[in-house]
Amino acid sequence: MYAIKVKNLTKKYPIKRNFKDIFKNPFYREYLTALNNISFNVEENEVIGLIGLNGAGKTTMLKLFSSLLIPDEGSIEIFGYGINKNSEQIKKMIGLVNSEERSFYWRLNLKQNLEFFADLYGLDKYEKKNKVNQVLNFVDLYKNKNMRFDSLSTGMKQRMSIARGILNDPKILLLDEPTKGLDIKHAEEIIKLIKKISKNKTIVITSNNLDEISQLCKKIIIIHNGRIIKIGKFKNIKNVFKNSIK
């Protein structure tokens, strides 16, 4: 069974209009096509990279996979469950890590933050304690568990985002530009973490960093202006990205 099946996927966003245009023609609607008739599959325990320039449609894709958005056309299946009808089942199988994390409570410490999310995932008291300690150890932040979130460095905040993303032991981990804004040292730490996670999970990574993608992904999907340009192994398509995405 495929972990993810995408067929003829299209997603559009309404373009904001000024008051003058609305007054002249209140029923007119204009749309920006973020994804245009996209189709591909992801194998279970496969690590794939979605690469493209900003605005190519990469983040929209991850939001659709996690059922934060609903397709306008086409379909997405997560381990056989359709996005439109089974969003609750799908949310339990997905972990989403954003590059700009805003969901943590900055005045709470690391342990308290993860305990809050564990409650949202429905973990019981015993499971919560074990899982929080487990993920803090995994991302090497257990010794910092009593630090307030607002005192963390950017690299530590990103490790906390990954800790939260794997807290419910998801089958699929979605990583939206996981090293964005990090220096070389902290980016390398995140890459090492992702490699450890990838041993038993399906991972989808968005990025426009070819070096990062080459270290993590065997299969690459190049997206440009909402369309797939090429799918293949990194060594076979890296020049397509450099030559076609300008």
Residue 173, beta-bridge partner list: 95, 203
* Cα 177 to chain centroid, rounded: 8
* Cα 213 to chain centroid, rounded: 14
- What local confidence, expressed as pLDDT, does residue 98 receive? 84
| Domain regions of the chain by residue span | 46-68+94-244
Q: Please indicate, yes or no, whether the overall pTM of this predicted structure exceeds 0.85.
A: yes
Question: Whole-angstrom Cα distance, residue 76 to residue 65?
Answer: 7
Does domain 46-68+94-244 match CATH 3.30.450.20?
no
* 3-class SS letters over the chain: CEEEEEEEEEEEEECCCCHHHHHHCCCCCCEEEEEEEEEEEEECCCEEEEECCCCCCHHHHHHHHCCCCCCCEEEEEECCEECCCCHHHHHHHEEEECCCCCCCCCCCEHHHHHHHHHHHCCCCHHHHHHHHHHHHHHCCCHHHCCCEHHHCCHHHHHHHHHHHHCCCCCCEEEEECCCCCCCHHHHHHHHHHHHHHCCCCEEEEEECCHHHHHHHCCEEEEEECCEEEEEEEHHHHHHHHHHHCC
Residue ranges of the chain whose pLDDT lies below 50: none
Question: Token pair for residue 121?
Answer: 């995932």
Report the chain's terminal Cα–Cα distance, integer Å. 36
- What local confidence, expressed as pLDDT, does residue 196 receive? 93
* Residues 60 and 69: beta-carbon distance below 8 Å: yes
Residue 206, beta-bridge partner list: 50, 176
